[in-house]
């Protein structure tokens, strides 16, 4: 089954672009690396990133009017630097900002704003890929997967501090899905458009189209800028997650695209 969408079937296969073929090859390599890492007897989980290097804003949501905890957190980790090129939401200069929401009851990470500012082509449009990668690592060495996992652990620990003795503690392995919303990366957008093209004309509002590992579309989307971080997160935290890996990618259409990556 090429995709999971009620009432829809694929049209004759369209000719794929050079970008698609590049990310298909990246996706095959990434998936093979993921499977290899999950089965390796030599695997060791990556140490959790120390969020003390960031300026962290932590907000907790409660049930009104009782004030009971919802076990829902919003965490904004920002690395400030007076020489940085851009400003954060408060107008302060920053090297990187990772702003996400954590629903502990449903095991969901909802991404809001994740950016290492040097990587913005609008800031350094003339740098080649090698120069940009080198400067990015020097500018901010933390990947999305590292910071989001550290924020997830913070949300787990903060939630467990609210529990009574009779309640079951939250464990990092309870993570079930990551929701990437308001996608505006041109590479990811182009790949999504090409992924859904064989199934629908255009991108009708309210569409939800899902792909599994046996689908070529899954591999391409997993390797995309909005998908590969989840693969790395599963590889870097295999033991803590109980060996879970990405098994379903769902694309949603609206004013912008969304991508939901489910692990099991």
Tell me the CA distances in angstroms from 164 to 52, 168, 227, one per residue in order.
Answer: 28, 9, 37
Pairing of strands 246-252, 208-211: antiparallel
The backbone torsions φ and ψ at residue 48, rounded to the nearest 5 degrees and listed phi first, read -65, 135
Nearest Cα neighbor of 102 from 64, 76, 68 is 76
Nearest Cα neighbor of 59 from 68, 67, 71 is 71
96 or 8, which is more confident? 96
Nearest Cα neighbor of 149 from 231, 64, 86, 259 is 231
Flag whether pLDDT at 80 surpasses 70. no
Flag whether pLDDT at 83 surpasses 60. no
Instruction: Write the pLDDT tens digit of every residue in 180-192.
Output: 999 989 999 999 9
Flag whether pLDDT at 91 surpasses 90. no
Confidence of residue 178 (pLDDT cuts 50, 70, 90): very high
Which range has the worst mean pLDDT, 88-92, 98-102, 105-109, 123-127? 88-92
Q: What tokens were used for 137?
A: 């690592």
Nearest Cα neighbor of 238 from 168, 172, 177 is 172
Q: What is the structure's pLDDT at 2?
A: 44
Instruction: Write the pLDDT tens digit of every residue in 11-55.
Output: 556 789 999 999 999 999 999 999 999 999 999 999 999 998 888
Q: What is the structure's pLDDT at 6?
A: 39
Q: What is the structure's pLDDT at 119?
A: 47
Confidence of residue 230 (pLDDT cuts 50, 70, 90): very high
Q: What is the structure's pLDDT at 143?
A: 85
Q: What is the structure's pLDDT at 205?
A: 74
Q: Where are the domains of the chain?
A: 18-263
Distance separating alpha carbons of residues 178 and 151, to the nearest angstrom = 13
185 or 142, which is more confident? 185
Q: Is the CB of residue 106 less than 8 Å from the CB of residue 176?
A: yes
Mean pLDDT throughout 80-91?
A: 53
Mean pLDDT for the chain overall: 86
Q: Is the CB of residue 218 less than 8 Å from the CB of residue 230?
A: no
- Indicate if the alpha-carbon torsion angle 144, 147, 149, 154 is positive or negative: negative
Instruction: Write the pLDDT tens digit of every residue in 243-253.
Output: 999 999 999 98
Distance separating alpha carbons of residues 177 and 147, to the nearest angstrom = 16
Flag whether pLDDT at 82 surpasses 70. no
125 or 144, which is more confident? 144
Mean pLDDT throughout 198-219?
A: 86
63 or 108, which is more confident? 108
Distance separating alpha carbons of residues 116 and 136, to the nearest angstrom = 8
- Report the predicted TM-score, pTM, of the whole model to 2 decimal places: 0.86
Flag whether pLDDT at 90 surpasses 60. no
Mean pLDDT throughout 235-249?
A: 97
């Amino acid at each position: 089954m090429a995709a999971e969408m009620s009432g829809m079937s694929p049209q004759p296969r369209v000719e794929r672009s050079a970008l698609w073929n590049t990310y298909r090859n990246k996706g095959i390599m990434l998936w093979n690396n993921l499977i290899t890492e999950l089965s390796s007897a030599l695997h060791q989980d990556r140490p959790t990133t120390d969020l003390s290097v960031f300026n962290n804003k932590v907000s907790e949501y409660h049930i009104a009017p009782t004030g009971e905890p919802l076990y829902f957190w919003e965490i904004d980790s920002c690395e400030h630097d007076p020489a940085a090129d851009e400003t954060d939401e408060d107008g302060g200069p920053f090297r990187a900002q990772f702003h996400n929401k954590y629903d502990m009851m449903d095991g969901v990470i909802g991404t809001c704003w994740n950016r290492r500012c040097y990587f913005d082509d609008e800031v350094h449009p003339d740098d080649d890929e090698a120069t940009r990668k080198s400067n990015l690592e020097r500018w901010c060495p933390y990947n999305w997967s590292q910071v989001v996992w550290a924020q997830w652990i913070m949300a787990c620990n903060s939630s467990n501090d609210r529990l009574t003795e009779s309640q079951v503690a939250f464990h990092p392995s309870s993570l079930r899905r990551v929701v990437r919303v308001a996608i505006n990366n041109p590479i990811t957008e182009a790949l999504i458009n090409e992924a859904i093209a064989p199934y629908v004309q255009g991108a009708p509002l309210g569409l939800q189209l899902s792909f599994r590992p046996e689908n070529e579309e899954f591999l391409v989307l997993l390797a995309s800028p909005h998908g590969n971080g989840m693969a790395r997160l599963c590889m870097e935290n295999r033991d803590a997650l109980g060996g879970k890996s990405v098994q379903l990618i769902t694309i949603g259409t609206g004013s912008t695209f969304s991508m939901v990556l489910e692990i099991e």
